[in-house]
Amino acid sequence: MSGHTTLTVDLGERSYPIEIGRGLRHRPELFAPAVRGGQVVIVSNETVAPLYLEELRRTLSAWECHEVILPDGERFKTLETVSQVFDALLARRCERSVTLVALGGGVIGDITGFAAACYQRGVPFIQVPTTLLAQVDSSVGGKTGVNHPLGKNMIGAFHQPNAVIIDTETLGTLELRQLRAGLAEVIKYGLIRDPGFFSWLELNCAALLERDDDLLAEAIARSCRNKAAVVADDEREAGQRALLNLGHTFGHAIETAVGYGEWLHGEAVAVGTALAADLSVRLGWLQEGERQRILRLLAASGLPLAPPAAIAADEMLRLMALDKKVSAGQLRLVLLRSIGQAVVSADYASALLQETLLTACSGRQG
Ligand code: NAD
Ligand code: GLY
């Protein structure tokens, strides 16, 4: 695949495009339909701004353009940082018609989207995601928010962007560890609903890590197509959207336990995916051969398969109970019936979950 792909997240009047291609950050005509009013404010961080801010400012030069540069890191995904965005918007007398532009990874996207959801009760925003993880997942679907010391992503709002503009060229400056973490979310789509994509990833994983441009663009487009379909069917996560959280209940527990930012989100999700597969086998739902394929693909992507040594099984369980999918005190997990078919279920013996956690926590390397 080469060139420029446009997908749509179909949400009636709130539908929006996902533009995918090389060099799209230089294309004002892609931004224009999504900008409301005369002011734009680019929100970025200290790492991404030196790389891409000036170019984006040039692209947006038809509008009154300001910027807010935040500190970099998951540990800054807090209400205090969102407050810094509000301070900057108010100091610049930004009006209700201001459009925010999130330039960065998932942290910047989630913070900016949340600020946009709250500022003057809601202003438009555009996602310009620059990590693989943000390009395939967090920029699409309108989940925005910040962490709380007691739980990840616990404060937030649904607020859809007006456009997602994915410039695949920006992946050229991304650290390999971050690229690998993004692959965890790519693999997720294969596992929950697209078995053909999973097989494609088994064939192309090495080339993706070598940053083959066309293959990356194809992986991003196929991921976004899957995500757009899920979001269009279930915007507010009344049902199927919860499948996108495969591995996340385990993963969020890891992120909360080790401290936000020590483990990358995608790394924690990879371990969570391996644990979800383990529990699914113990339940007799997933074949062991399929679990082995999953572990092989995660390992080939350079992702961890076991929780960090610092966490005990009972601590994981305690933190998992804080998950947003807990309903009437029951912890619902995303589990696998096969590669390409996932279910959200509380219908498992808790002893089997404990076995999964104890086995993983005793067999790990550190
Ligand atoms: P991140 O935003 O922290 O970015 C990772 C690192 O890469 C940061 O240091 C960043 O500054 C740097 N970076 C970004 N783009 C770069 C580039 N092109 N070149 C060089 N460096 C670059 O992490 P992430 O993995 O993008 O996102 C993780 C966050 O996304 C988590 O907070 C997670 O909860 C959230 N998330 C949200 C959703 C959602 O639906 N809203 C979905 C998945 C994940
Ligand atoms: N990343 C999970 C979701 O968007 O629902």
Give dist(CA 140, CA 136) in Å, integer: 8
pLDDT the model gives residue 139: 98
- Closest Cα to residue 21, out of 127, 138, 170, 144? 170
CA of 134 to the centre of ligand 1 (A): 6
Q: Which atom belonging to ligand 2 lies closest to the Cα atom of 185?
A: 1
Q: Which atom belonging to ligand 2 lies closest to the Cα atom of 140?
A: 4
pLDDT the model gives residue 366: 42
User: What token pair was written down for 237?
Assistant: 């996560």
CA of 92 to the centre of ligand 2 (A): 32
pLDDT the model gives residue 328: 67
Residues of the chain with pLDDT under 70: 1-2, 324-328, 363-366
pLDDT the model gives residue 257: 87
Ligand 2 is surrounded, with C-beta below 6 A, by 137, 141, 143, 241, 244-245
pLDDT the model gives residue 305: 96
Taking each helix axis from N to C end, the angle separating 350-362 and 313-320, rounded to the nearest 10 degrees, works out to: 130
Q: Which atom belonging to ligand 2 lies closest to the Cα atom of 143?
A: 4
Catalytic residues: 121, 143, 185, 227, 237, 241, 245, 248, 252, 265
